[in-house]
Structure 1
Amino acid sequence: MKNFRMSVVGLLGVTLLVTGFTGVQTAAAHEAPQGGKAPLRALAERADLRIGTAVDMAALGEDTTYRRTTGREFNSVTAENVMKWEVVEPARGTYDWSGADALVRFARDRGQVVRGHTLVWHSQLPGWLTAGVADGSIGAGELRGILRKHVTTEVKRYKGRIQQWDVVNEVFEEDGSLRNSIWLQKLGPSYIADAFRWAHAADPKAKLFLNDYNVEGVNAKSTAYYELAKRLRAEDVPVQGFGIQGHLAIQYGFPGDVAGNLARFERLGMQTAFTEVDVRMILPADAEKLATQATYFRGLLDACLGARSCKSFTVWGFTDKYSWVPGVFAGQGAATLLGEDFGRKPAYGAVREGLAEGR
């Protein structure tokens, strides 16, 4: 889950544009791309999989090619930013649901499901909250009430319209220790179970996920999540899924034992999902790097298709034109399935072939 700021102008633009889509026929989402080949979503449905993308709402409102591709290729969408706390409650008690509502409408009109992202995180918190905690004007008891209200309010608003929620995000460090966030500092580790219980009470039918990066294979961090999930489920906490972000880079090698990692969460009775997949590289991109990138996308997809528990595979954006990577990793990029001109890269072909082969 990455920071990717949206201007107020962009958000207003997308609200105006997307609200005008309500008359679009769902069948248009299955329109075959140029060349007559079935879109990714048609192949994914045959493989009993949701193929998703994070959605940049400014791009959705302003770029017709981006909007058309989002509807055509994917049967699942995730809000890149517009469901995060700093966006939905910029001032205490003052809510802005316009971007999130627009995405939910867009998905409804195209027969797509929605992944909610994200309820509890240490980043992209509203300034009024972090300032109040820092200056002591918001104490631990009040903070817990604020968190409960936030989780309950957002989940209830989209009750029945969100298939999966990333409830608690990025709570462990690489060594498997709990991240020293304001939540841990002020509320202790019990905030994790509390958030899941509150979300479940607000929408009992939504599937509730833990979510993090660098947890693709078996390592200290993913093992910490395994032990946490095992303990919480034994305590009847409604932790139902484990979300693997899948932000990879070809210069670091492909993670080990991805299938084994999925299998152990499956044995706990949990769903699994790849939630934010992209594969960056040191620029400039060349044929060899792009070919390696394609094998990484295919490796994660094959692991998902090979696991009965994995029903969702989401890329974190599908075109380099709007990728977050160059703004965060200097000298790196080309991390998505399509180029800046929306041309298909070898990675798109690899994902397409993997979906066509199915489970």
Structure 2
Amino acid sequence: MPRNRLGLAGALAAVLIAAGIATGTPAQAHEEPRTQAHERPATLAQLAERHGRYFGSATDNPELTDTAYTKILGREFDMITPGNGMKWYATEPRQGVFDWTNGDQIVNLAHANHQRVRAHTLVWHSQLPDWLTSGTWTADELRAVLKKHITTEVRHYRGKVYSWDVVNEAFNEDGTYRDTIWYRTLGPGYIADALRWAHQADPHAKLYLNDYNIEATGPKSDAYYALAKQLKAQHVPLDGIGLQAHLALQYGYPTTLEDNLRRFSRLGLDTALTEVDVRMQLPATDAKLTEQATWYRDLTGACLAVRGCVGVTIWDYTDRYSWIPAVFPGEGAALPWDEQLNTKPAYHALREALR
């Protein structure tokens, strides 16, 4: 999960996007369905709800002063993810000193708009405070630090959030464990521990593992499949797998996405597309925007085709606040709304998929 352009940009400049092939063009738009109450077109959330799915957006605290932006955010979506406000550097900037300001602001806004919250994220190797990364920890010490952080944060938001991305980006591209402070000091068992502690703190929240480049079948998604199977066999409380779906036109569409969603579903797990954007090399052309729209339509269709796929979240909805340009220079135009908050072909393709 990337840092927003208004967050701490740059950590994921090494992200590689899974390869595949996309074909086809967006279907032609039909007359918009109307809601009876206001005779306005149904929102993305309302269209998704007809399929028993949600349609969400990430957001971040700095842009919440933009009233034109928040009006669309509050109207079109029924699930919100805080881009940065619940990460460790924001919530425990000093050891044992917790700050809920940013997370609470987004949770309160979501609840005011009758939206649910995908809480993000408890255990990650990035955006950690200096006191944690510069410390020298024994396994017992770090385990206690991790347990306290998870327990305190999850308890604070108990009953207020739909789900947690408990562990984020735990594997390398080849399917080996990522060399993080958690893995180095605690070994692979930190993942099961984190899930157990989160469940104890809020038994009703859905608990996810979340990562990028696991949309297609391959070594990295295979590692998650094997881990999920192991955790389920051990009765560890794991509810779902989040596939971030940060895609790029130049690397091809992950054509095995639907099959991949289905195999996780067969384990009894929910799946979700959690951080979707489809970037391109600039300038954006009509041809690129048309291909991008096809990808948005196809990935949404893949989720709708698999019963266990519960919803789609785009990583903020507008190019105005996208993380992409700061991390991938010369790339962008990744979202369904442009920088002026006008809808792009991708938006209409999403509507078509959800119809």
Q: TM-score, normalised by structure 2?
A: 0.90
Offset of residue 256 of structure 1: 2.4
Partners of 2:120 and 2:236 in 1: CA distance = 20
Which whole-Å deviations, capped at 9, do the CAs of 1:48-81 have from their partners, x for residues lacking one?
A: 1110000121111x10011101000000000000
Higher relative contact order (CA 8 A, sep 6+): 2
Distance 2:176 2:312 in 1: 27
Q: How far, CA to CA, are the matches of 1:222 and 1:323 in structure 2? A: 26
Q: Select 1:49's aligned residue among 39, 49, 53.
A: 53
Whole-Å separation in 2 of the counterparts to 1:227 and 1:206: 23
| Counterpart residue number, 1:4 | 4
Matched, 1:260 2:259: yes
Contact 1:218–1:256 (8 Å) recurs in 2: no
Cα distance change, pair 254–154 in 1 and its aligned pair in 2 (3 A): same
Could you give the per-residue CA deviations for residues 234-289 of structure 1, whole angstroms, max 9, x where no partner exists? Answer: 00001110000000000111012111101111110000000000000000001000
Q: Please identify, of 78-87 and 159-168, the stretch whose mean Cα deviation from structure 2 is larger.
A: 159-168
Which one-letter code corresponds to 2:207 in the other structure?
L
Two-structure CA RMSD over aligned residues (Å): 1.7
Structure 1 residue 171, shift from structure 2 partner = 0.5
Q: Does the aligned pair in 2 maintain the 1:5–1:81 contact within 8 Å?
A: no
Deviation at 1:139, TM superposition (A): 2.1
| Partner amino acid, structure 2, of 1:131 | S
Deviations for 1:277-332, whole angstroms, at most 9, x for unmatched residues? 00000000010000000111111101100111011210001110110000000100
Assess if the C-alpha contact under 8 Å between 1:279 and 1:293 holds in 2: yes
Aligned residues: 329
- Matching residue of 1:243: 242
Richer in helix (by share): 1
Equivalent position SS for 2:229: helix
Matches within 5 A, 1:163-178: 163-178=162-177
Distance 1:7 1:214 in 2: 22
**Residues 84-163 of structure 1 mapped to structure 2, 5 A cutoff:** 84-132=87-135, 136=136, 138-163=137-162
Distance in 2 (CA, whole Å) between partners of 1:4 and 1:47 is 30
Instruction: State the AA in 1 paired with 2:62.
Output: A
The equivalent residue for 1:26 is: none
CA distance in 2, matches of 1:130, 1:112: 35
Paired with 2:7 and 2:227, the residues of 1 have a C-alpha distance of 37
3-state SS of the aligned residue for 2:213?
coil
Residue 28 of structure 2 is matched in structure 1 by none
Question: 2:76 — aligned with what?
Answer: 73
Structure 2: runs of 5 or more not aligned: 9-33
Q: Which runs of 5+ in 1 are unaligned?
A: 9-29
Q: Is the 8 A contact 2:86 2:121 kept in 1?
A: yes
Aligned to 1:311: 310
Structure 1 residue runs of 4+, over 3 Å off?
5-8
Residue 110 of structure 1 deviates from its aligned partner by 1.0
Give 2:63's aligned amino acid. A
Amino acid at match of 1:174: E
Please give the alpha-carbon distance, in whole angstroms, between the structure 2 residues aligned to 1:41 and 1:228: 32
Distance 1:169 1:341 in 2: 32
| Contact in 1 for aligned 2:5/2:323 (Cα 8 Å) | no
For 1:149 and 1:115, the matched residues in 2 are separated by 21
TM, length-normalised to structure 1: 0.89
Instruction: Tell me the distance in 2 between the aligned counterparts of 1:165 and 1:200.
Output: 10
Match of 1:215 in 2: 214
| Contact 1:31-1:72 within 8 A present in 2 as well | no
Identity %, equivalent residues: 53
Distance in 1 between the 2:161 and 2:7 partners?
A: 25
Is this contact kept in 2: 1:120–1:167, CA < 8 A? Answer: yes
CA offsets 1:196-255 (integer angstroms, 9 cap, x no match): 000000011111001000011111100110000000110000111000000000011101
1:181 alignment counterpart: 180
Task: Give the drift of 1:36.
Answer: 3.2
